[in-house]
Structure 1
Amino acid sequence: MGKLKTFSGTLLLIFAILADIANSAQISPTSLITFQNREQLDNEGKVWLGWEFDNETDLILFEMEVETTGYVGLGISPSSSMAGADIFIAGVFDNGTSYGMDCIGIGFTRPKPDLHADWVLDGAIEAVGKTFLKFSRLINTCNDEDYPIGVDTTRLIWAYGDTDDIAYHTMARRGAKAVNLIGTPIPDLDLEGLSKWEMTVDVEMPSLDTTYWCSYHKGPVLVTKHHVVGFDALLDNIAALAHTHHFILKNCYLPRNHNETLDEVFGPYTVDAGYDGGHCYDPESTIPPLEQYCSQDLFVWAKGGKIMTFPANVGYPLGEGENAGKQLYYMLEIHYDNPDEVAGLKFKTGVQFYYTDEIRQQDAGLLAVGHMTNPILTIPPNVDDFVLMGQCDPSCTEWGIKPEEGVTIFNALLHAHISGRKLKLRHFRGAVELPWIDYDDHYDFDYQQNKPIPGTQLLPRDRLIYECTYSSKWTDNTAVVGGMSSREEMCITFLWYYPRQDMTQCFSQTPFAVHTADFGITRVHDEDAKGGPQMFIDEPAYMAGQYRYTISLFNNWTESFVEQYQYNHRYLPHEGSCVQEDGQYLIVDETSYPEGMIKYVPKDVCEPGSEPTTVTQPETTQSPTTQSPTTQSPTSLTPPQTAPTQPQTTMTQQQTTPTQASTTVTLPTSTEPQGGVASGIATAKIGSMVAILTYIVL
């Protein structure tokens, strides 16, 4: 308890003015929030939070404004619920004295006091029906009952009462919100004087669980070079926010030897021409398969995302070189998420970018890294903390990054679907692991950001490994399979960097023959479908059917099998590929964690004198043992060499749409890993869904 604290004469004067005008005008909900970082926590604008991180003191300073004269609570929660939450409750009594309490959530009841009080009330005041609080906390209090705050996602819970009696707040006066409390701030962007270009589609969402909708759009015609300096989503109502899982804006190009122009190929099928698009990769489409010409990602927005702006010295180039004065075309690939299969719902979804003729110093590029999206990415039923990874091999960074000084990564979007729990992008130079480029130990599917990060240098021959940790506990004892639906899974990160290079994709996966041998699958085929081919199991007969459903019928989902299966997919060699925007690609026969890996260990602020360190130890000391005949233990317990043992070949690939309704592949019966070129060819034969050189984004 304490007396009312005075912030400043200016602040009290503001409150006096607000009190005078309260009966004649609506007060802005952010009128007293002074910090640059701010979030509306509720849907009605009654609860606002501002914050600022002091890097020198490791303190986070908060401002909170709530439309109530009762108590106000803010908590940091591992699960967006009361249980285990680190909670601060404060307010102002009727007599003008303020109060603040550090508490611990113990479930759906009044939280208990935390005897080690780490939340500090710096000021509290009530006026015109609102409570305004200033308070602070260390990002890591070294108290086991407090919640450390990192640069990853923080889940906040909030509540308020209509009185100062700490009692149940009702459903209407509570909520949860995911935010990034600390980290590199979003670069400021003055929109005045910038040009803006919008690309939207206004259609009725199909009454399907998952729809990928592709529409085509004209871009601005620019006779001189310009720079894009910011991107933002255009979602016109609550329905658009609820059902737009993500979208990708893609550049569209024709092969150099194509006998038609961009105008001839795309002109009749743009939104500007009256064509609102259709299902992506639809074998029954009545228009040409234009998706094959639009494979280069330009901007990715995912659920919960905000505006993305570039650093002051960086922009994405438009209207340069042979593109000067030409009409360019873009594809907008939208993932509509409609699990209840609602019909008749129409809304607008799209993107806008801001551009300028004031050229900046650096041209930006976008690189996608991770695991290929296909059935090889299979998560067993009823597991927690199940880790899969995809990587960009040193051969690819050597091939795709030309400057000896490398490139600088300045923004990252870490992506998975609803089974994702933790994401981490690791960075190796030789066998030594450098500080993680980005991570999220509290991944929230509904809060995915193009997040600014400190500039990180990526050199030729560096290795990137993107690890995704999953839980399938929510699936009612069924496996989760890689795919396009939000209830399927992905493991992809998108990295903005400068200077721009030609490489746009860098992926890996367990060889297809190794994956099928784990489950005793000996014969499969694929069938064309909206959104891309679907894989079907033919043999063994007890698992016959569409893979995404029938893999759960596997008869050996034992703990020992799952342990071995995770080891095989994480630590045994992957096959990899990297692709340039002109269609050239590099195949990597074998890639894995570096031999003799020296791990990065972050600084532990709770250990005096601790600094970031490396430790020389493998992440796993031995392969688990498992029961035959479903799989065999690997013959070596040591991760393979960094560089592939066979030379890589650079080729040019023109993407095409499959013309056959289905393709059948009979697989080898051996359970030994099938690496090298042979497994890559076998994989490619079962269609673009699992081809080594293709992937389905997001």
Structure 2
Amino acid sequence: MPTHPYYRRCRTAAAVAAVIVTAAALVADASATGTRVYTAPLDDTGRATVYWTVGYAAQTVKFETHFADAGPFDWLAVGFSDRGNHTGADFCLVWRDWKGVTSMLDTWTDDAGRISVDERQDCDDFDMARIHGRGIALTFTRKFDTCDDERDYLIQDGTTHLIWMVGSGPLYAVDGLLVSQARVKGMQRVQLLKPERLEVDLPDRISKINVLADKVHVPAEETTYWCHVMKIPMDLSSKHHIVRFESVIEEKSKGVVHHMEVFHCEAGTNVAIPLYRGPCFSEKRPYKTQVCKKVMAAWAMGAEPFVYPKEAGLPIGGPDFNGYVMLEVHYNNPGLRKGMIDSSGVRLYITPEVREYDAGVIELGLEYTDKMAIPPKQPDFTLTGYCIAECTAVSIPPSGIEIFGSQLHTHLTGTKIYTKHVRDGQELPELNRDNHYSTHFQEIRLLHRSVRVLPGDALMTTCHYNTENRPNITLGGFSITDEMCVNYVYYYPKIELEVCKSSISEQNLKSYFKFLNEWERQRTSPDSAVSANYNGAEWTPMRSQVLHRVYESSTLSMQCNRSTGDRFPGDWENRPSTKVLYALPPPARHCRTLSQPPPPPPSSV
């Protein structure tokens, strides 16, 4: 048998048998120590599931993956990749050779899907157990940062694309195995590094309101967005607080219900909203339902219940409150399963016992406008929206506001989002970041630490986009094929500021279109509509780079708006963008030096 520098195999079949009859222990161990266990389905049938715990002190994640059907010589791999691809990925792979020896190896795949054993082995504490007859439970530990920059995935805050494969054996060796030889494989998005949080007691008087889909016949299509409008079935003529929300997922729908949002319908008290139930992007959806767009709750697969701080709750109700809400469910059905009927949704915990502070939501990022655009064929194009110091100076009280939650948002081409916090030119710790963002995995996330924002602070939200598969320019706007760049931040105490976003100033944009026409003979004009100008230009790589520089150097048109839609007093046109004078150093890493001994060999059973 070929050997590997860090390869170690089990010497006796008895050792394998001993592990096979041992019960999988992650859940039991966590319960004994009080550690929180998280879980998510790995496929849409419920036959593959992942459990994990996070050790912040040791900077490790312990995984336990259950596969319902695995033969005695099957090989199984669980790992990570930047966008959910099985190529260019990092795997912990368990295999049993032709002699019956079972081992776990740290492996990686190249762009062609060829599996190789990593020279450094970082899949630790391997254990395995037979469960439920033909089922297998695999347990292993992985450091957040293995310091193997060339081959290993860096586990970070935000979204992680978990990938997995099962293939048939026995194998003579792992090196040279191909991803295409896997019998079955899949991908799931999760937030691995969830914040540690204290439990908050619920008020004595609490109403649990279910906002549920109603017997939806889930189409046999990979992606469906289903909308369901309803009126909240309780008296909300006086102000209440939402203090918690959570998912209500039918057992048979786990793995298919991917994420959900509840939107409030912002209309007059007595305005009736059509009780539409159907595809969200259907032409048959009534126009009146377009007012249902203010996020009240958002859940994504693997998310825990969202619990507000004990000091605050999201206000709902009052004499001017419209009681209609809309549930949006994203069904992810890659297996094209037929005959599924689903009534999943979100449960809101509403109390009349109003807490000390009303929580509020502020929109940061880019204005919803076609003034900002992304040229086609761009692998990584960035746009930044600003909440400038002048706006927070006139809208935030001297004591500041406390931000405790965040929902990042783009449409289909967004790949990364982060919000920087700047005070007097000094960059402070970031407000939120997701380096592997996907529009198909959106949730309101509690921050690891609350962030106090003071008057005069600035917040810069940057979005990265990939338009390599788009032949035409992508404009900013409301359509799913348009783009956005938003961070909805949840905070207390509630203030008048609701929108703090920017776009390029009209003056600078008109000057740019005039330049394109006069110097580069493009079909643009300062007198034409913005969308016509963008679509009238030929977007070469060089012209796309120049547009990016124009965005970065231009002055801003600011939305510094109250909840009424009115701007705070002041001149908000042609404002200078925020400059970071003193950047934060990169996060510290704890990597061994070359003089230190190599890591131990991989675990075997």
Q: TM-score range by the shorter chain?
A: 0.7 to 0.9
1:104 corresponds in structure 2 to: 108
Aligned mate of 1:572, from 554, 561, 564: 554
Matched, 1:84 2:93: no
> How many angstroms apart in 2 are the aligned matches of 1:302 and 1:101?
34
Matches for 1:218-229 after TM superposition, within 5 Å: 218=232, 220-222=234-236, 226-229=240-243
How far is 1:183 from its partner? 3.7
Alignment partner of 1:161 is 2:167: yes
Counterpart AA for 2:209: W
Q: CA deviation at 1:182?
A: 1.5
Q: How big is the shift at 1:114? A: 0.7
CA contact (8 A) 1:251 1:331 kept: yes
Structure 1 residues 201 and 161: CA distance shift in structure 2, 3 A: closer
Measure, in 1, the Cα distance between the counterparts of 2:409 and 2:455: 24
TM-score (norm 1): 0.67
Deviations 1:583-619 (A, max 9, x none): 442252344443462112332305789xxxxxxxxxx
Name the SS for the 1:567 alignment partner. helix
Residue 561 of structure 1: SS of its match in structure 2? helix
Aligned to 2:121: 117
Q: How does 1:296-335 map to 2 (within 5 A)?
A: 297-299=294-296, 301=298, 306=303, 308-318=305-315, 323=319, 328-332=322-326
1:184 corresponds to: 195
Root-mean-square deviation (CA, aligned residues, Å) is 4.7
Q: CA deviation at 1:459?
A: 1.1
Write the deviation string for residues 339-372 of structure 1: whole angstroms up to 9, x where unpaired.
Answer: xxxxxx9987865412235554543211111101
Offset at residue 54 of structure 1 (A) = 1.7
Corresponding letter in the other structure for 2:431: I
Corresponding position of 2:148? 143
Say if 2:386 and 2:578, in contact at 8 Å, map to a contact too. Answer: no
The residue that corresponds to 1:2 in the other structure is 10
Query: Would the alpha carbon gap of residues 100 and 397 (structure 1) be closer, same or farther in structure 2, given more than 3 Å must change?
Result: same
Q: Which moved more, 1:101-110 or 1:503-512?
A: 101-110
Report the AA paired with residue 584 of structure 2.
Y
* Cross-structure match for 1:369: 364
Deviation at 1:558, TM superposition (A): 3.5
Q: Decide whether aligned partners of structure 1 residues 303 and 503 sit closer, same or farther in structure 2, where only a CA change above 3 A counts.
A: same
| 1:5–1:122 contact (8 Å) kept in structure 2 | no
Distance 1:214 1:75 in 2: 36
Partner of 1:412: 406
Distance 1:228 1:99 in 2: 49
1:250 paired to 2:264 = yes
**Letter of the structure 2 residue corresponding to residue 573 of structure 1:** T
- For the 8 Å contact 1:424–1:436, the answer to whether it is kept is yes
CA distance in 2, matches of 1:15, 1:199: 36
Matched-pair contact (CA < 8 Å) for 2:407–2:443: yes
Provide the residue aligned with 2:442 in structure 1. 448
Deviation at 1:74, TM superposition (A): 1.0
Which amino acid counterpart does residue 150 of structure 1 have in structure 2? Q
Q: 1:401 to 1:566 in 2, by over 3 A?
A: same
What is the CA distance between 1:329 and its match in structure 2?
A: 2.2
The offset of 1:55, in angstroms, is: 1.7
Whole-angstrom CA distance in 1 between matches of 2:359 and 2:515: 44
* Aligned mate of 1:71, from 71, 75, 82: 75
CA distance in structure 2 between the aligned counterparts of 1:397 and 1:348, rounded to whole angstroms:
43
Matched residue type, 1:61: K
Decide whether the 8 Å contact of 2:422 with 2:580 is kept in 1: no
> Tell me, which stretches of 5 or more residues in structure 2 are unaligned?
1-8, 333-339, 594-605
Correspondence list, 1:507-546, <5 A: 507-520=501-514, 540=523
Structure 1: state its 5+ residue gaps: 17-28, 255-261, 339-344, 524-538, 610-698
Amino acid at match of 1:39: A
The number of aligned residues is 551
Q: Hey, what's the Cα distance between the residues in 1 that align with 2:14 and 2:425?
A: 55
2-side partners of 1:444 and 1:141: how far apart? 25
CA displacement, residues 308-353 of structure 1 (integer Å, 9 cap, x when unaligned): 5124414425578x64xx8742343859999xxxxxx998786541
Alignment partners' CA distance in 1, 2:514 and 2:329: 34
Q: Is the 8 A contact 1:337 1:486 kept in 2?
A: no
* Alignment equivalent of 2:390, drawn from 373, 395, 400: 395
SS at match of 1:397: helix
The residue number in structure 2 matching 1:693 is none
Instruction: Tell me, in whole angstroms, the C-alpha distance in 2 between the residues paired with 1:220 and 1:66.
Output: 43
Kindly indicate whether the alpha-carbon contact (under 8 Å) linking 2:232 and 2:325 is maintained by their aligned counterparts in 1. no
Q: Distance in 2 between matches of 1:100 and 1:515?
A: 57
Q: How big is each residue's C-alpha offset from its partner over 1:601-640, in whole Å with a ceiling of 9 and x where there is no partner?
A: 332305789xxxxxxxxxxxxxxxxxxxxxxxxxxxxxxx
- Write the deviation string for residues 661-686 of structure 1: whole angstroms up to 9, x where unpaired: xxxxxxxxxxxxxxxxxxxxxxxxxx
For 1:398, what is the secondary structure of its paired residue? helix
Q: Which amino acid aligns with 2:153?
A: Y
Q: Which of structures 1 and 2 has the larger relative contact order (alpha carbons within 8 angstroms, sep 6+)?
A: 2
Distance 1:392 1:188, change over 3 A: same
> 2:300 touches 2:442 (CA, 8 Å); kept in 1?
yes
- The alpha-carbon deviation at position 174 of structure 1 amounts to 0.5
Structure 2 equivalent of residue 131 of structure 1: 136
Answer yes or no: is the 8 Å Cα contact 2:129–2:138 preserved in 1: yes
The 1:398–1:201 alpha-carbon spacing in structure 2 relative to 1, beyond 3 Å, is farther
Call closer, same or farther: CA 1:158–1:291 in 2, change over 3 Å: closer
Task: Measure the CA separation in 1 of the matches of 2:330 and 2:50.
Answer: 31
The 10-residue stretch of structure 1 (420-429 or 239-248) with the greater mean CA deviation from structure 2: 239-248
Is the CA contact 1:387–1:570 (under 8 Å) kept in the aligned structure 2? Answer: no
Deviations 1:54-86 (A, max 9, x none): 222222222122221422201211232233211
C-alpha distance in 2, partners of 1:285/1:154?
Answer: 34
SS at match of 2:509: helix
1:217 aligns to 2:231 (yes or no): yes
CA change 1:91–1:185 in 2 (3 A) is farther
Counterpart of 2:475 in structure 1 is 481
Q: Is the 8 A contact 1:422 1:469 kept in 2?
A: yes
Whichever residue aligns with residue 140 of structure 2, its letter is F
Asked if the contact 1:52–1:62 (Cα under 8 Å) also holds between the matched residues in 2, the reply is yes
Higher alpha-carbon deviation: 455-464 or 119-128: 119-128
Cα 1:38–1:190 change in 2 (3 A) is: farther
Pick aligned residue for 2:534 from 551, 576, 589:
551
Q: CA deviation at 1:386?
A: 1.2
Identity of aligned residues (%): 21
Aligned mates of 1:32, 1:130 — CA distance in 2:
20
Contact 1:198 1:352 in 2 (8 A): yes
Does the CA-based 8 Å contact 2:380-2:464 persist in structure 1? yes
Alpha-carbon distance in 2 for matches of 1:578, 1:10: 62
Cα deviation digits, residues 173-217 of structure 1 (max 9, x gap)? 21112222214147757899842223457699999x999979563
Contact 1:215 1:278 in 2 (8 A): no
Matched, 1:39 2:36: no
Matched, 1:470 2:465: yes
- Any conservation in 2 of the 1:30–1:48 contact (CA below 8 Å)? no
Using the alignment, how far apart are the partners of 1:401 and 1:82 within structure 2? 47
| Corresponding residue for residue 649 of structure 1 | none
Map of 1:196-275 to 2, 5 A cutoff?
196-199=208-211, 215=229, 217-218=231-232, 220-222=234-236, 226-232=240-246, 247=261, 249-250=263-264, 252=266, 254=268, 262=269, 265-266=270-271, 268-269=272-273, 271=275
SS at match of 2:588: coil
